[in-house]
Amino acid sequence: MTSLHNLLLSQHYCSTFWYSIYKKQLSPFQLTSLANLMFQMAKYLAFLFLMLKLATTFASQLNSLNETCLGDGGFDLQIDIYINSCPEAEAIIFSGVENAVSQDSRMAASLLRLHFHDCFVNGCDASVLLDDTGNFVGEKTAPPNLNSLRGFEVIDSIKSELESVCPETVSCADILAVAARDSVVLSGGPSWEVQMGRRDSLSASKAAATNNIPAPNSTVANLVAKFQNVGLTLNDMVALSGAHTMGKARCSTFSSRLQNLSNSNGPDVNVDFLQSLQQLCSEPGSNTALAHLDLVTPATFDNQYYINLLSGEGLLPSDQALVTGNDQTREIVESYVEDPFIFFEDFKNSMLKMGRLAPLTGENGEIRSNCRVVY
């Protein structure tokens, strides 16, 4: 009864109080009470605002952390992971790539390709950089890599510089990922924030390198299967094939394009282009001769590669197959021809996706001080 009585008195007081305000008939006591009430309400609202802000900030941070959490292994790849342990890391890598590309423009394509060939074999773990030794077999002698991959010395130079500044901190796998991005940027292509935190493998697989990396004479079905095998889609395949807008290839990789030219016909066949390639590759010892993957802008990262495909000027059989072997891939090619920014956006997203393939993190693997050797 006492509580009920107090509640009724409180309601009566409040009713009388607000009625007095409405009538503008306030006693000094009521004015003081009003001021105190307003002050308490202001403090309460300020507290609520603070709690709302903290909750929003916490939710944002939680979402950000969730974005870097891969699987059940904890927090893995992150942006700016070396901001405290090696703040100069990205600048050192960029400088090394810039110097190499300024001396040899083809090096941009070579460094980009190193990252591809690394990630397609048991994830992005720098296994592609390991040398063969008396008791260790690496991936460099696998058919897709032998006498083909290049740029190892550039990675060695960058790693040496990083070791002098922050020893045993930046992994070789992260160097490959950042160098690939920087190669694209220096060639006029898009930029993106590279997620880092990869560790280096303790092993390599020549067999996986032989089987997993798409061959230059692949059909669209074969390409899709190879990409899906590592968790990438058909759209990723077409976008990442755009890396062939830079670089060169040996005659041996596209010789099948030059067979039976006399019987070649159709809207997607460019006889003049094929004849020029046949002439290049018919010289004695020309099996190792090089042709530009993109004749028009061979050192520029752009959408010219896709324009070339529609003109029948794809160098590799696997390139030209994107417009002749599948309607879906042809539609994507056409969209990249119409709008290079769509290509840039898709390429960037697919590179990020590929860069997250099966990374070694936490206590797995190691941070090599020499990218060629397991310790």
Cite the active site residues.
Answer: 117
By DSSP bridging, strand 248-250 and strand 290-292 are antiparallel
Residue with token string 């990922």 = 177
- Beta-bridge partner residues of 146: none
DSSP, res 200:
B
Cα(226)–Cα(375) distance, integer angstroms: 31
Question: Hey, what amino acid is at 354?
Answer: M
| 3-state secondary structure at position 114 | helix
Q: What value, to the nearest 5°, has the Cα angle with vertex 26 and ends 24 and 31? A: 120
Q: Please give the Cα distance from 122 to 199 (Å, whole number).
A: 13
What count of other Cβ atoms lies within 10 Å of the Cβ of residue 47? 10
Of 65, 177, 58, 64, the closest CA to residue 116 belongs to 177
Residue 281 Cα distances to 250, 259, 289, angstroms: 9, 12, 7
E strands in the chain: 248-250, 290-292
DSSP 193: P
* Rounded Cα gap, residues 128 and 123, in angstroms: 10
CA distance 3 to 296: 89
List the structure tokens of 38.
């307003």
Q: How far is CA 258 from CA 215, 236, 253, 274, 275, in A?
A: 17, 28, 11, 6, 8
Contact 92, 165 (CB under 8 A): yes
The identity of residue 82, as a single letter, is Y
8 Å CB contact between 100 and 334: no
Give the residue among 183, 138, 132 at the shortest CA–CA distance from 347: 183
